[in-house]
Structure 1
Amino acid sequence: MFHIIGEQAVSKLRSLGLTMTEAEVYLALLKGDADAKSLSVSAGVPYSKMHTVLRGLVAKKLVVRSGKSPSVYSCRDLVEGLQDYKRMRVAELEEKVKEAEAELSKLRTEATSERPDIWIIKGQEKILMRSYEAINSARVEAKVALPSFPQLLTAALVPVMKRLKAENIKIKLLLPSSVPVAEVKKLVDFGEIRLRDKMFGGGIIIDDKEALLLVSAEGDTQNLAIWSNHLGIVQLAAAYFDNLWASSFGAF
């Protein structure tokens, strides 16, 4: 009968996270205090493993050690020991949950950022703001085709183009031939500029990873744009830009 009860107790202790040998040594200690050598005999555990097992039980707050040579081990009060062990396991679990949440959140963020998006942008102010953000984010190359060019745009473009040039980022700027020569001269030192007589719509392609399509007929007010990092849309926009660029003429 005692053997059956002992097996059940070992099973319960193992379900709490103890190893087989830790459970056997703990049950042996319930019968009375003992040193490692005595426990090795009573628990039937090789002496070579005893100190490792006992350190584990002390760390789990189930057993206390006293004396120095040889050390004597004893079980803590059952309720206090098990409650402290429970609190320790709960704290460990909470820490692991936090770590898992952080890692999974990182994966979800990466997955979300990798999913292609398409945005419709309305209104000149919002389009100008998104255009500025896009050009300013370039790391390799910025391809810019502007179907219209209000003079106030020069003041906004110069600082950005100056920074891109300083960082050796390639800039291709395609403008309508109607842009005053004086305005073109303000930009020519910061990138390669070409002109063309007709341009239906325009766009901005950044590093061949994102595109901002400016939707309008020639001369119309720019009130609608489409931004996307979808590979197919970006490739289509880049191909269209390259075609316009090849058929345009140098600014000077």
Structure 2
Amino acid sequence: MKKVGVAYGEALLQYSFGIDHPMNFNRIRSFFRMFDKQFKESTKFDDILLISPVLAQEEVIKLFHTEEYVEYVKKASLNGFGYLDYGDTPAFKGVFEASSYVVGTTIECVEKIMDNAVAFAFNPMGGLHHARRDSAAGFCVFNDIGVAVEFLRKEHGVKSFLYVDIDAHHGDGIFYEYLKDKDMWIVDVHEDWRTLYPGTGKESERGEGDAFGTKMNITLPAGSDDSAFYKRFDEIKRFIADLKPEFIIFQCG
């Protein structure tokens, strides 16, 4: 049986907007502590391949992001103050490098899968699904998912994807950047767009042009538990039943 890859390393702690910000290093540190306790000292660890963080090259980041935006982040990283968006995502000294580690580590996870070293891979700091090609948003500087999709297309010839997102927040940075892409099938389960950031993700949005029918938004009321999700699960199963994607990406919040 192939192993499961797990990204693990201190470099991922750099993606932190300060101790008073919701996205700080304690998130990933808590995961590492739980991982150490539950897996590293058990026989289950034999089925896991640790993947060290990797710094993404600029040209890889630019597979998804515009050159102008990458340069903007680099400049903000040197200055170390202000915001990269309208107030959610602060700049700090080294934010470019910290964000590049997230992207590079997701790409390393992808490479381990394509090399058949692992069956699945997980980057606990990845999934920065709000960033758009030309802007930051919602604590997300670079969209490692979008970069991974374009990397797989360019370097491995992968054409068709299934992207499943169950974060409470709608994954707008993926959904709208691939709204007209017929080879990107998307299932996004999130809290009702009227009650939670980013205020997007209506169920009526199903893709555009040739991609109409390749996208699915499932909206749940605020405070929903697993039972609310399971009530909609058959819809998701029917939507993906006949798909044969070459690569599946799962954003789990």
Larger proportion of helix: 1
Q: Flag whether TM exceeds 0.5 (same fold).
A: no
Q: Which has the larger radius of gyration?
A: 1
TM-score range normalised by the length of the shorter chain: under 0.3
TM-score (norm 2): 0.24
Larger proportion of strand: 1
Bigger RCO of structures 1 and 2 (CA < 8 A, at least 6 apart): 2
